[in-house]
């Protein structure tokens, strides 16, 4: 079962670019959302985090790969969420939060960005991995 989700977080590592057997470019990226809340003195503290495995297609994937060259960036994601149960390497039950993104944008929250409008961001060919599927 899927549901629509919108969240904002930081990319954990540069997106992994791939090409489908039909030649479509897409990217996998992990986005981490940190949850914070103030204590009784108004000091903010981290109280948890959630990691999302995000798949992004087409020009948005290429644009994200280009933007991520500047390092750890904050993004806003809107897409379809599917929670998938699995057993992790330590043998414990775990849940993967998988998102197929309709929209990925660079957030202006806590960072400055530079925008260049183009028909599509170029990604060097050596950054694209053929998908074995």
Q: Does residue 13 surpass a pLDDT of 70? A: yes
pLDDT confidence of 106, banded at 50, 70, 90? Answer: confident
For the chain, give the percent of residues with pLDDT over 90.
Answer: 62
Q: Residues 16-37: what's their mean pLDDT? A: 93
Q: Report the range of poorest mean pLDDT among 6-10, 40-44, 62-66, 96-100.
A: 62-66
Q: Does residue 123 surpass a pLDDT of 70? A: no
pLDDT value for 95:
92
H/E stretch holding 104 reads: strand 93-106
pLDDT value for 111:
64
Instruction: Indicate the domain borders of the chain.
Output: 2-113
Q: Does residue 118 surpass a pLDDT of 80? A: no
Q: Residues 18-41: what's their mean pLDDT? A: 93
Q: Residues 61-72: what's their mean pLDDT? A: 84
pLDDT value for 67:
84
Distance of alpha carbon 71 from alpha carbon 77, whole angstroms: 18
Ramachandran angles phi, psi of 40, nearest 5°:
-65, -20
| Mean model confidence pLDDT for the chain | 85
CA atoms within 13 A on the CB side of 91: 0
pLDDT confidence of 76, banded at 50, 70, 90? Answer: very high
pTM (2 decimals)? Answer: 0.77
Domain 2-113 has CATH 2.40.50.140: yes
CB 77 within 8 A of CB 64: no
- Residue 15, judged by CB atoms within 10 A of its CB (0-12, 13-18, 19+), counts as buried
- 76 closest CA partner among 110, 127, 26: 110
């Amino acid at each position: 079962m899927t549901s629509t989700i919108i969240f904002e977080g930081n990319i954990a590592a540069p997106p992994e670019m791939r090409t489908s057997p039909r030649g479509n470019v897409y990217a996998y990226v992990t986005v981490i959302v940190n949850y914070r809340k103030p204590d009784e003195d108004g000091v903010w503290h981290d109280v948890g985090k959630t990691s999302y495995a995000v798949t992004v297609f087409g020009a948005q994937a290429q644009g994200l790969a280009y933007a991520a060259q500047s390092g750890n960036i904050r993004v806003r994601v809107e897409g379809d969420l599917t929670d998938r149960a699995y057993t992790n390497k330590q043998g414990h039950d775990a849940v993967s939060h998988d998102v197929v993104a309709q929209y990925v944008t660079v957030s202006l929250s806590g960072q400055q960005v530079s925008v260049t409008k183009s028909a599509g961001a170029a990604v060097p060919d050596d950054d694209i991995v053929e998908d074995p599927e």
